[in-house]
């Protein structure tokens, strides 16, 4: 469904714990993105990567980290430094400059 797979669908984090959200795409897209969605806030860009082994901070990168070791994969780690991590996280990808953005089905992260 859409070629972008996010897992898990639901994730719970304990205090002081790092958690990693998975995003895999089989669309051969060069660019990948992570967005955070809070009720009434729209979607805010956390990190993006336009090519393997390169990534850039978005508007709200503090408390998050990413890697892009493979074209197909762009995992997001929510670190213990992120004090308010409860949100719906969306991964997206696109073929490249000038192309349309497609989203994964999202991961709902909650704090225990």
Q: Which residues bind another protein (CB under 8 A)?
A: 2, 30-31, 33, 35, 40-45, 48, 50, 56, 58-59, 90, 92, 94-106
Judged by beta carbon, residue 17 or residue 53, the one nearer another protein is 53
- Position of tokens 């089905």? 105
CA 58 to chain centre: 11
CB 75 to another protein: min, Å: 18
Residue 19 beta carbon to another protein: minimum distance, rounded to whole angstroms:
20
CB of 80 to another protein, least distance (A): 26
Q: How far apart are CA 58 and CA 20, in angstroms?
A: 18
| Residue 84, C-beta contacts closer than 8 angstroms, at least 6 positions apart | none
């Amino acid at each position: 469904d859409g070629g972008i797979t996010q897992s898990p669908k639901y994730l719970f984090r304990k205090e002081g714990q790092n958690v990693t959200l998975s995003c895999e795409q089989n669309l051969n897209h060069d660019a990948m993105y992570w967005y955070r969605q809070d009720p009434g806030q729209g979607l805010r860009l956390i990190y993006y990567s336009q090519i393997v082994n390169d990534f850039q901070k978005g508007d709200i990168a503090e408390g998050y980290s990413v890697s892009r070791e493979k074209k197909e994969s762009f995992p997001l780690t929510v670190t213990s430094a992120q004090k308010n991590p409860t949100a719906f996280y969306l991964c997206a990808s696109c073929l490249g400059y000038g192309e349309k953005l497609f989203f994964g089905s999202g991961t709902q992260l909650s704090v225990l």
